[in-house]
């Protein structure tokens, strides 16, 4: 068995000053967490280098990282990301492997799959039972029925923020391709920047309908169809609700988005994202009347 590892890293909570969010220490502790949490998309960024080690540059073109989050970490707490590639020689082609992130004590922070090319096995997120319920039975997500269209937004990736994080040494796993020329021309999006491009603002209308709440990422999958996503390129992002579900402490929204080059609405997506977001019931006035 061969394990490719990042070694111990210390992801930063980049939203620790976002008052009223799960990343804010005061809000998080009020809701039962130890401290403000490191966002899931920051954890995904740690995998960048080992994904290229396992799959080569093809991962940036047709690769997928699909992770389910199980344990929240706080600012700079140590974690290690790994890929279990078995006895295969690298780079792998048309393959899927186990991906995991753990603390030094062995607590699983996230687990899932990483893959490249064409595979016959569903990814970690698409092999899960999403346990859908009728949206009308929910309080916050009562209007978020399966198939509902999300916003349509045209924008560039946050290149300046990616370069800043890289230059200031707060990017957990930096690659030169994120700030310099790459095999595809200019700089490419890191997993965190890709998530922000594919997520920001996409559920704005649904969130307004939900009223006041605190949410956190429960699962994220980034999939490259014809990648990579590039900095300083206009993309049009569309999306839809996949399912809604319920648990004793949360209401759950599953949705997917796709990014295409602007002006090419019928083209193959460059990349897509599937996300599960948890809305904490204890944070909502609808559950605390």
Is residue 149 within 8 Å of 239, Cβ to Cβ? Answer: yes
pLDDT tens per residue across span 21-34: 999 999 999 999 99
Mean pLDDT for the stretch of residues 61-66: 98
pLDDT tens per residue across span 82-139: 999 998 889 999 999 999 999 999 999 999 999 999 999 999 999 999 999 999 999 9
DSSP the chain: -EEEEEEEE----TTTT-TTSTTSHHHHHHTT-SSPBPPHHHHHHTTHHHHHHHHGGGHHHHEEEEEEE-S--BTT--EEEEEEEETPPSSP-SEEEEEEEE-TT--EEEEEEEEES--SSPPTGGGS------GGG-SSSTT--TT-B---EEE---HHHHHHHHHTT--SS--GGGTS-BTTBS-B--HHHHHHHHHTTTTHHHHHHH-S--EEEEEEEEEESS---BTT--EEEEEEEEEEEE-SSEEEEEEEEEEEETT-TTSPPSEEEEEEEEEEGGG-GGG--
Cβ-in-10-Å burial (0-12, 13-18, 19+) of 17 comes to: exposed
pLDDT tens per residue across span 230-239: 999 999 999 9
The residues spanned by each domain of the chain are: 2-287
| Residue 171: per-residue pLDDT | 95
228 vs 239: CA distance, rounded Å:
19
pLDDT at 69 over 90: yes
100 vs 102: CA distance, rounded Å:
7
pLDDT band with cut points at 50, 70 and 90 for residue 145: very high
| Residue 5: per-residue pLDDT | 97
pLDDT at 4 over 80: yes
| Residue 87: per-residue pLDDT | 86
CATH homologous superfamily of 2-287: Hotdog Thioesterase (3.10.129.10)
Q: Over pLDDT 70: what percentage of the chain?
A: 100
Mean pLDDT of the chain: 96
């Amino acid at each position: 068995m061969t394990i490719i590892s990042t070694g111990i890293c210390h992801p930063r909570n980049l939203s620790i000053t976002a008052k009223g969010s799960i990343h804010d220490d005061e809000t998080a502790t009020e809701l039962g967490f130890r401290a403000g949490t490191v966002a899931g998309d920051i954890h995904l960024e740690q995998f960048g280098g080992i994904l290229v080690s396992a799959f080569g540059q093809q991962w940036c073109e047709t690769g997928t990282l699909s992770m389910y989050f199980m344990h929240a970490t706080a600012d700079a707490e140590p974690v290690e990301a790994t890929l279990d590639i078995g006895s295969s020689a690298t780079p792998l082609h048309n393959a899927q492997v186990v991906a995991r992130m753990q603390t030094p004590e062995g607590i699983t922070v996230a687990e899932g799959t990483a893959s490249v090319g064409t595979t016959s096995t569903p990814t970690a997120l698409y092999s899960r039972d999403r346990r859908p319920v009728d949206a009308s039975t929910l309080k916050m997500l009562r209007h978020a029925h399966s198939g509902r269209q999300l916003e349509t937004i045209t924008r560039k990736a946050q290149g300046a923020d990616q370069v800043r994080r890289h230059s200031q040494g707060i990017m957990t796993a930096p690659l030169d391709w994120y700030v310099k020329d790459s095999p595809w021309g200019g700089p490419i999006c890191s997993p965190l920047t890709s998530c922000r491009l594919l997520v920001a603002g996409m559920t704005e209308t649904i969130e307004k309908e939900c009223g006041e709440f605190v949410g956190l990422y429960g699962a994220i999958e980034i999939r490259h169809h014809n990648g990579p996503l590039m900095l300083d390129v206009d993309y049009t992002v569309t999306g839809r609700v996949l399912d809604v579900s319920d648990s004793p402490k949360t209401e759950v929204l599953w949705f997917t988005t796709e990014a295409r080059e602007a002006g090419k609405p019928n083209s193959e997506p460059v990349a897509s994202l599937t996300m599960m977001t948890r809305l904490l019931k204890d944070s909502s006035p609808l559950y605390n009347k």
